[in-house]
């Protein structure tokens, strides 16, 4: 926890109130998982995918918001449009290979090209610990968390413009034990291997691939996870609070922008130091 009761005032970037600076002007970006779960519509904070989609549009990009929940994707697009941004919604379930091919094609057509891809997907299901794991749950989790991103990259790489960034949204669960969901932890760890391979294949065309690994984040999905495992909410966090979805989005923005033009095959933990000093 933060020492001596220190509480840092959140800057505009952490609250999604900072104005855009044109860092993605003219770009065409597909955000897979750009909707968000609804836990309590009256009090839900912004989710990572929605925050990224809005932030990218605010920075000048045209955004394709893909989600298995079309209504949620439409809501993200509506928020972007209300700020004068450009976005389109696509319904797709990346556990279905046919949906992936269609999604990439629809995004490319709607945006007039693709020069950025964000993969913000992940599920954690099943009982806690190895005793609670089943073959069915294992296959379901890896099908979404690992096979899905692999197929997205396979379909998108030939269509991405030279110099495009690919950003995977993973979790520090891929670096330290903690979720108590073996399939989830294993899938997020394996995502690092996939990311590095994409970086290797993309290097000859200037295509960069990196990971943002969030720690504890206050999102609807995070709150749902805490309901299922109350100890999550009691985790001692060095900064004394969980991240906001906007803080994850700003890390992704850095990796999507030319500010990170010489960064590839890296993992950026956005976790208040949980993986480094806790």
Q: How many domains does the chain have?
A: 1
Q: Calculate the dihedral angle through the C-alpha atoms of 212, 154, 198, 159, rounding to the nearest 10 degrees.
A: -90
In-domain check, residue 61: yes
Note down the domain range covering 87: 25-270
Exposed/middle/buried for 212, CB within 10 Å: 0-12, 13-18, 19+?
Answer: buried
For residue 221, give the 3-state DSSP assignment. helix
Instruction: Report which of residues 198 and 2 the model is more confident about.
Output: 198
CATH number for 82:
3.40.50.720
Q: Which pLDDT score, from 0 to 100, does residue 127 have?
A: 85
CA 196 to chain CA mean position, Å: 17
Is 262 among the catalytic positions?
no
Judge whether 165 lies within some domain: yes
- Over range 208-217, report the average pLDDT: 96
Q: What angle do CA 8, 216, 123 make, to 5 degrees?
A: 155
Of the listed 184, 220, 242, 246, which one is catalytic? Answer: 184
> Is residue 5 one of the residues assigned to a domain?
no
Q: Is residue 243 part of a domain?
A: yes
Q: Binning pLDDT at 50, 70 and 90, where does residue 1 land?
A: very low
pLDDT at 160 (0 to 100): 98
Residue 9 domain-assigned (yes or no): no
| 36-54 mean pLDDT | 91
Domain for residue 1, yes or no?
no
pLDDT tens per residue across span 235-254: 888 888 999 999 999 999 99
CA–chain centroid gap for 236, Å, is: 23
Q: How far apart are CA 174 and CA 216, in angstroms?
A: 13
Total-model pTM: 0.93
């Amino acid at each position: 926890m933060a020492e001596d009761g220190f509480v840092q005032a959140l800057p505009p970037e952490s609250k999604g109130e900072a104005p855009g600076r044109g860092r993605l002007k003219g770009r065409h970006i597909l955000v897979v998982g750009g909707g968000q779960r609804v836990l309590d519509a009256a009090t839900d904070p912004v989710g990572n995918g929605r925050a990224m989609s809005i932030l990218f549009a605010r920075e000048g990009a045209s955004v394709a918001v893909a989600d298995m929940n079309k209504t949620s994707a439409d809501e993200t697009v509506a928020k972007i449009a209300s700020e004068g941004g450009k976005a389109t919604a696509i319904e797709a379930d990346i556990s279905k290979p046919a949906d992936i091919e269609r999604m990439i094609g629809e995004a490319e057509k709607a945006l007039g090209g693709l020069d950025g891809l964000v993969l913000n997907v992940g599920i954690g299901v099943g009982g806690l610990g190895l005793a609670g794991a089943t073959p069915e749950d294992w296959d379901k989790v890896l099908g979404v968390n690992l096979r899905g991103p692999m197929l997205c990259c396979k379909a998108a790489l030939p269509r991405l413009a030279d110099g495009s960034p690919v950003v995977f949204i993973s979790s520090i669960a891929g670096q330290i034990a903690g979720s108590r969901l073996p399939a989830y932890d294993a899938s997020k760890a394996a995502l690092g291997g996939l990311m590095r391979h994409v970086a290797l294949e993309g290097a000859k065309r200037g295509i960069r691939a990196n990971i943002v690994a969030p720690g504890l984040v206050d999102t609807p999905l995070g709150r749902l996870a805490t309901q299922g495992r109350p100890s999550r909410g009691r985790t001692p966090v060095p900064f004394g609070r969980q991240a906001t979805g906007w803080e994850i989005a700003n890390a992704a923005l850095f990796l999507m922008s030319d500010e990170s033009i010489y960064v590839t095959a890296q993992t950026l933990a956005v976790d208040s130091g949980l993986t480094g000093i806790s």
